[in-house]
Amino acid sequence: MGVDDLQTFLESPSLEGGAVSVDLLKIARNVTQRQQPHNTNRKIRPIGNKLKLIIDAENCLDRLYGGYFSDWACGGQWNRMVQFLSLLTRAIERGNIELAVVFNGTIEQCRMNEWVAEQANNRQRVGMVLKHINTKATPPPKIWWTPPTCLRSALRMALRHLGVTVMCTMDDHHQEVIAYCREYGFHGLLADDAEYAAFDPPRYFSAENLKLTYKGSVETKEYMISELTKTLKITQEQVCIMAALLGNFLLPESDLQDLYKKLGLTKGENSSESNIKKVAEYVSTMPSPSNMDALVVAVFGTAEDKRASKFRQSVQYYLNGTASGFLKYCTPPTKSKKEKNKAQQQAVANEKDNANVKSDDHDLDTSGFASETTEQEQETLQNYKQVTAHSVVGSFDGLDVNLLKNINSGKFISINEPYSAVYKLSFIDDSPLSSDSSRFNGISNGSVGSVKSIPGSSGQRVNVLVGNSGGNSSSNSNNTNSGSAPHKAHKQSANSNAVTPTVSPDVLRTASLRHQKGLMAPTILHVLSTQEVRLPCLMEDEGNREFPPIHDIYAPLRKRVYAVLFNLHHLRYVHAKKKEAGELPENASQPDILVKEWIYSRSNPYQYAEEVKAEPLPWAVPTLQRLWFGPSVDDKRRRMRALLSCLNSDTPLILNTAYVPQHMLIMACVLRYIMSQDRPIMRRHELDAFLCHAFNPNLMNPQYLQELTLNVVTSRGVQLAALFMEGVEMALLANDACGAPLPWLMCCPWLYFDGKLFHYTLTRSAHAKNILEVCENYIERVVKVERMRKAILEGLDVKFAKVPLPPFAGAPMLRQGLPPHCLPPMTMTSSRGGSVLRQRPIPSRGGQLEVAGVVVGSWGANYSFQSSMTRQILPAGASFAPQGRGRGGYHHNSYGGGGGGGRGRGGGGQNRNKGPPTYPVHNARRNQRRASE
């Protein structure tokens, strides 16, 4: 049971007419301008003749990625993703459709259980994917599709690059999406969520079935809510009651078992349809939600039932999303006056401290990041065009034309609107931040706030993402245990020196605005407003001990980012000044900043948040206001130094474009961070594979990448790609935290990484004799790789991870050639490895020994794992000879080495490999008789 059963019933064929196939381009052609009812409380823009649709990106990450690319597990095919999105946006623009894509940027405590369950499902799929790769060495099936690491960030940048309106929600994802849809006259919503079905949007389309066909049509399915209510014989208000009784994050189904037993509901995969009909029949006899007291009594028998308050909130939550209810809801405050006064007093005290030390920080222009100037954007645009000059997807449709037109006409983009003219974004609302609702939405409250405006595609001000808009704020404060995991974070000790940091209103306002526009990593606003971070499960083997868990590797980086965001260096500087002035005792310890991280481990499977201490950078970092808003050249230099320091990359060569091109700076910093770990993680040929594939001219050729085939996919390669892309995610976080010293166009992952090409290059690198062979004998690429490697390894005590040796022959419980933890070796026949790994392959089929045309010996097939793995690790284009009873081998045509058929096991010799015993397949007497003849 659960509210998801409502969506399942809506999609099922038993509901005739519930899901109808449609072409969005045909619907757009039939859209005519409609007169909207005048309402002074609504800021509805003229609809015009465009079909305006809003997409919940969380329901169609796979579709926006471009479908189930066969090599999605390899780390992400970002250029193919950009190509697909480019084709999709061209199709919808030609079809007169306007899109707005919304990502979930909330950290809803009341939905903690849902997030934990989602991560458990992801971990299960990741386990099956890695098991499949370990056993089959092929890409996994699409049924186990898992979003590649950094997918959401890549999608936001790609859509922003293509001129599509991008937004992130703040407090309640579902309520903000439906509120934006209704308030600004959108014709429909693309999603696959039962809660939207209860909200009854204007038109409800399937995001899961969204597809761009070869003939250029954009097809999907439309869910007919009217058919649902007609079949179940209930009203739309009663759909809200039914959704509440099915169980959700506010009132879980575990609290309604007695009601389910009374209605005769059953558990099972095929029982959802009958359960929905029984609940609908029961709800049809209930009073209207307008008489909530009578409704509670009808359901529970008494108004004093302990579940009554949860039920009221649950029903009201769905009513708030309907057409008649979304404007009536007002976000209630969740803090008492006493708590507000205490927070304000602490903020005033901190402001005084800040004023004593950094009084000039208050004179800065806080309307936007100082790094985003017109000159820098123009220069970045030209650099991007040079990098993507030979790319199929580097056409810059809808981007450079508008920008260059504004530049030529003198309409420069000011700091106040960093991307408005280019990316169809607009200003923040001019409503003062001193109102009660504004203080609640992100400043005094300390929760994720809601600055009340967000960019719209027409350049007008768009009032969106209104407050909590969903009735869940009260549930957050009063009923956090209903549907949420217990928040059992480690409590601070009585003598703890941890302080609760306060954030400048200017900083929080800017962070909220950039968060809403999708211009900033959502983690930053989470940290600033709640001091809490959720870290999802990644594509890694929990039993793999070749390198630590990926989140643990980047823990020091995150701690430095926390220190930058909360001005830890400044706090300790003020603390030292007070000690010198005698205001504090000499033995007073330095203040610490604690941030709660929800991270999975076997000892803590998301049971409680682990508190980590922020670690300051080893130099005098300016305050966050100075980093974000400082306009001077020194401020620009400090922003870049802060970013490089977070990534262990504050070295001279890393900023030398002759060694590291600007669009590869993120890649170089991530690789250097990995190489600077105390425990060696990467092998020499793996570092070469990252660099060689980044300089491959086919990196930005989606047609080549589509035709490229991988003969083998390795578990270690998959995890290395996940490790690198998580590093890119963390580097983007650090870049935003430090004031975006590196322009966002130079951070796009499709400029320096492709998972499929990386695996192909990794296989070549493991077998090639030298790096020239990996670079396909192009010496100019070798020079670039060598120079970039020199910049990455500058000043490091380089320690590469060792290649594991094959186990001893005949070792118990281990298959031959299989290293511990079931990770297939990647360099089994590498000519760049040790001599032990350069043995000639032994054919697995049987054979016979002939002397003077007479068979004198024969042996059966040897199905050893080493032989099969040796034959699988081939470059693209290599092929096997036809299998038969005779001798054979594989043709090696990609790089030198390899060879034809190997010797059989019948040959003697000192270097003969040991293996399982074989038995003759012919009768010995028959062989003797033939010999005598």
For the chain, the structural domain boundaries read 4-233, 829-933
pLDDT digits (tens, 9 = 90+) for 39-51: 445 555 545 678 9
pLDDT digits (tens, 9 = 90+) for 53-68: 999 999 999 999 987 6
852 pLDDT band, cuts 50/70/90, is: low
Q: Which of residues 770 and 862 earns the better pLDDT score? A: 770
- CA-based torsion, 99, 104, 105, 110: positive or negative: positive
Q: Mean pLDDT, to the nearest integer, of 830-837?
A: 44
pLDDT over threshold 90, residue 216: no
Contacts with 933 (C-beta within 8 Å, 6 or more apart), sequence order: none
Is residue 144 within 8 Å of residue 563, measured between CB atoms?
no
498 pLDDT band, cuts 50/70/90, is: confident
Q: Mean pLDDT, to the nearest integer, of 876-881?
A: 44
Pairing of strands 97-103, 610-613: unpaired
Q: Which tokens sit at 626?
A: 């100075």
CB atoms within 10 A of CB 74: 28
pLDDT digits (tens, 9 = 90+) for 420-431: 333 333 323 333
The Cα-based distances of 150 to 402, 485, 729, 755 in angstroms read 29, 26, 6, 12
CATH says 4-233 is which class? alpha beta
E strand or H helix that includes residue 102: strand 97-103
- CA-based torsion, 751, 681, 796, 832: positive or negative: negative
pLDDT over threshold 90, residue 270: no
Q: Mean pLDDT, to the nearest integer, of 883-887?
A: 42
In this prediction, residue 412 carries a pLDDT of: 30
Is residue 588 within 8 Å of residue 525, measured between CB atoms?
no
Q: Mean pLDDT, to the nearest integer, of 71-86?
A: 91
Q: Which of residues 729 and 212 earns the better pLDDT score? A: 729
Is residue 320 within 8 Å of residue 175, measured between CB atoms?
yes
Pairing of strands 879-880, 854-859: unpaired
Q: Among residues 785, 607, 599, 622, which one has the least CA distance to residue 692?
A: 785
Beta bridge partners of 166: 101
Q: Mean pLDDT, to the nearest integer, of 348-363?
A: 52
In this prediction, residue 271 carries a pLDDT of: 78
Q: Name the residue with tokens 């990252």.
A: 690
Beta bridge partners of 102: 56, 167
Taking the C-alpha atoms of residue 567 and residue 626, their distance in angstroms, rounded to an integer, is: 10
Is residue 52 within 8 Å of residue 185, measured between CB atoms?
yes
Kindly report the CA angle at 346 between 341 and 349, in degrees rounded to 5?
125
Query: Which amino acid appears at position 74 of this protein?
Result: C
Contacts with 917 (C-beta within 8 Å, 6 or more apart), sequence order: none
Pairing of strands 204-206, 97-103: unpaired
For all residues of the chain together, what is the average pLDDT? Answer: 77
Q: Which tokens sit at 475?
A: 């549930």
pLDDT digits (tens, 9 = 90+) for 139-184: 898 889 999 999 999 999 999 999 999 999 999 999 999 999 999 8
Pairing of strands 211-212, 218-223: antiparallel
Q: Among residues 746, 644, 668, which one has the least CA distance to residue 380?
A: 746
Would you call 582 exposed, middle or buried from its count of C-beta atoms within 10 A (0-12, 13-18, 19+)?
exposed
In this prediction, residue 846 carries a pLDDT of: 65
Taking the C-alpha atoms of residue 650 and residue 404, their distance in angstroms, rounded to an integer, is: 34
928 pLDDT band, cuts 50/70/90, is: low
Please report how the helices 505-517 and 522-530 are oriented relative to each other, as an axis angle in degrees rounded to 10: 150
In this prediction, residue 70 carries a pLDDT of: 67
Q: Which tokens sit at 471?
A: 């009735």
